[in-house]
Amino acid sequence: MDAREVLGILDLTLLDHDASESELEIFCNNANKHKPYSVCVFSKHVEFVRKRLDDGISIAAVVGGFPVGWQDKVTLRNALEGAVISGADEIDCVLEPRGTEDFPSEEDLALLSIMREGATGCKLKVIIEAPLLSEHSIRAVSRMALAAGADFVKSCTGRRGTCSDEHATILAMEVKRHQVVMGEERGLKLSGGIRVMDDVIRLMTIVRKQDEGIFGPLRIRIGASSLLDEIV
């Protein structure tokens, strides 16, 4: 892959609650210059960023707690609806892992349903925090999220572990499985510790080995904050 191909699937990320207007301005200027597919910011920054981004760059809002996902359904729904109103095109939302044998359960399905309903009109990326989960749980929660209408399953926040080769393999397999079983094309987002081109090339090779049809920004995203400096 070359730099332009990576930029075409990159979610350029700035997740700092205390980011100043100056820092957000610089972030937007870099995005306008290099044209990643999207920028990923906290929902409270969406309106500011929206006014400063060139047309054609999607805005992904991180909603509902990060890195620890919210459990309160009313608060979560209100936050999702607020992000959509503020101008988000996409929503990244953590489904918080629970250290119980029944995870994921009906309770988690209810949260996923709220994510899907609250993010109406937006692409929904469900963050599953794979570093905290067993393989069985990664598969189970990925299947539940995709069945509930998530457009992407996302490896992790990067705050409680990084995306491993095994995580990439499992998520690609589950996205392919969903397409075979349900006839629906969905995507995956790999994030957490992806800093250089070699990381991207390695992970993309793993994904394409599972399904060569997973390519382009509607099927695969790379989430990173420092990768831009490496590829440009």
Total domains in the chain come to: 1
| Average pLDDT over the chain, rounded to an integer | 97
Residue carrying structure tokens 């992790």: 156
99 has a pLDDT exceeding 90 = no
DSSP 78-100: HHHHHHHHHT-SEEEEE----SS
115-168 pLDDT tens trace: 999 999 999 999 999 999 999 999 999 999 999 999 999 999 999 999 999 999
The domain that contains 54 carries what CATH number?
3.20.20.70
Instruction: Please give the single-letter amino acid code of residue 76.
Output: L
**Res 208: pLDDT:** 97
**Res 155: pLDDT:** 98
101 has a pLDDT exceeding 90 = no
How far is Cα 152 from Cα 77, in angstroms, rounded to an integer?
Answer: 19
**Res 98: pLDDT:** 87
Tokens describing residue 68: 């620890």
Q: Which residues are catalytic?
A: 92, 154, 189
Lowest mean pLDDT among 97-111, 119-133, 183-197: 97-111
Tokens describing residue 51: 């006014």
User: Quick one: 180 exposed, middle or buried, by C-beta within 10 A (0-12, 13-18, 19+)?
Assistant: exposed
Say whether pTM exceeds 0.85: yes
56-72 pLDDT tens trace: 999 999 999 999 999 99
What percentage of the chain reaches a pLDDT higher than 70?
A: 100
**Res 1: pLDDT:** 87
Q: Which domain holds residue 162?
A: 3-231
How far is Cα 78 from Cα 39, in angstroms, rounded to an integer?
Answer: 22
Instruction: Please give the single-letter amino acid code of residue 22.
Output: S
User: Quick one: 126 exposed, middle or buried, by C-beta within 10 A (0-12, 13-18, 19+)?
Assistant: buried
Give exposure, 15-32, as e/b (b: 16+ Cβ within 10 Å). Answer: beeebeeeebeebbebbe
How far is Cα 151 from Cα 12, in angstroms, rounded to an integer?
Answer: 18
Angle at 203 between CA 199 and CA 204, to 5 degrees: 115
Angle at 39 between CA 33 and CA 44, to 5 degrees: 125
Across residues 61-84, what is the average pLDDT? Answer: 97
